[in-house]
């Protein structure tokens, strides 16, 4: 059980890092690039993917890996913007609600049977997402303690909050679908993870070089921390599934509910994030939807 608790803690810690990055004058794009280099090293050390067959991938697998290489850093940037503009609570909840997209894909693309329970869970999740996207008057514009923002910036932040939340939901949902499709075509998970981290890091690095980025030592160093937290979340999540091989529902549900619950406490207690009644209703609906969407 400790691996599951650690995975939840690492996930929330990533959101806290993204929340504090602006106040610490960290260039998040540079931190994300180093994050993937760190994740590659930790993946080689702890997961030990089979390197002898690493590049023996089918054309379909390489297509999926290429899409992941683009999506992973892009969605990380969107998540950073969401945490800054909409807060940890709503961003983490939007990320966890992204599970509805692979479930919809299973029904619509892979023609799995639709149960009444899952249909109700999907409807509940869509209602939760709508509630989360409702803009509270002050939540998105509430600065981190020690940070000040202008009135114009506050209004712009609130106006864009729903857009980045929708981007988080769509982005993480598409990544989940791609990883599930990778598993369907028989690619090994650890090798696929290593290749996707490597491609994401290379593309992010090339993008920064193309922009003639002025490198920032603090941002590069912070990427080591971000990479450790990000990989720790993934590693402990995998270990939790290995610990409970016959009960994946426990891991899925506990992870999603745990992140939403702890993220809510951290957002409200540490960063004084304000939610309106509709947002709070959305969090409650999200918790109910997660319970319904995973089979017993």
pLDDT of res. 167: 95
The CA-atom distances, in angstroms, between 129 and each of 65, 196, 226, 274, 280 are 28, 28, 27, 17, 11
pLDDT of res. 274: 83
Per-residue confidence at 139, pLDDT binned at 50, 70, 90? very low
pLDDT of res. 112: 73
Tens-place pLDDT, residues 63-98:
999 999 999 999 999 999 999 988 999 999 999 999
Cα distance between residue 187 and residue 181, in whole Å: 9
Cα distance between residue 6 and residue 240, in whole Å: 9
CB 144 within 8 A of CB 21: no
Cα distance between residue 129 and residue 271, in whole Å: 22
pLDDT of res. 93: 92
CA angle 257–261–263, rounded 5-degree value: 115
CB 225 within 8 A of CB 34: no
Q: Check whether 1 has a pLDDT greater than 90.
A: no
Of 36 and 244, more confident: 36
Cα(first)–Cα(last) distance of the chain, in Å? 19
pLDDT of res. 296: 62
Domain chopping of the chain, boundaries = 2-293
Mean pLDDT lowest for which of 33-47, 166-180, 210-224, 250-264? 250-264
Tens-place pLDDT, residues 97-131:
998 888 888 888 777 777 888 889 889 999 999 99
Q: What is the mean pLDDT of residues 213-241?
A: 93
Cα distance between residue 37 and residue 226, in whole Å: 11
pLDDT of res. 152: 45
Q: What is the DSSP letter of 174?
A: H
In terms of DSSP H, where are the helices of the chain? 2-21, 28-42, 59-86, 88-97, 100-108, 116-133, 151-184, 189-210, 217-243, 248-270, 277-293
């Amino acid at each position: 059980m400790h691996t599951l608790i650690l995975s939840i803690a690492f996930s929330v810690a990533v959101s806290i890092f993204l929340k504090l990055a602006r106040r610490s004058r960290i260039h998040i794009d540079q931190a994300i690039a180093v994050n993937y280099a760190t994740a590659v090293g930790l993946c080689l050390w702890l997961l030990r993917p089979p390197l002898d067959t690493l590049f023996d991938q089918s054309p379909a697998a390489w297509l999926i890996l290429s899409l992941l290489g683009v999506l992973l850093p892009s969605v990380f940037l969107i998540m950073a913007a969401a945490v800054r503009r909409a807060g940890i609570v709503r961003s983490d909840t939007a990320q966890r609600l992204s599970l509805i997209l692979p479930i919809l894909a299973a029904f619509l693309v892979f023609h799995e049977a639709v149960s009444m329970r899952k249909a109700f869970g999907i409807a509940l999740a869509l209602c939760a997402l709508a509630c989360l996207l409702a803009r509270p008057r002050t939540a998105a514009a509430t600065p981190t303690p020690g940070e000040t923002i202008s009135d114009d910036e506050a209004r712009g932040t609130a106006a864009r909050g729903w857009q980045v939340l929708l981007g988080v939901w769509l982005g993480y949902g598409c990544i989940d679908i791609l990883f599930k499709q990778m598993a369907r075509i028989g690619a090994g998970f650890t090798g696929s993870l290593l290749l996707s981290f490597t491609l994401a890091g290379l593309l992010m690095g090339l993008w920064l070089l193309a922009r003639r980025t002025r490198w920032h030592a603090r941002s590069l160093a912070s990427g080591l921390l971000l990479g450790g937290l990000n990989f720790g979340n993934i590693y402990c999540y995998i270990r939790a599934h290995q610990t409970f091989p016959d009960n994946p529902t426990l891991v899925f549900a506990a992870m999603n509910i745990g992140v939403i619950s702890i993220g809510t406490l951290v957002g409200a207690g540490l960063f004084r994030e304000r939610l309106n009644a509709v947002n709070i209703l959305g969090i409650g609906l999200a918790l109910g939807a997660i319970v319904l969407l995973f089979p017993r």
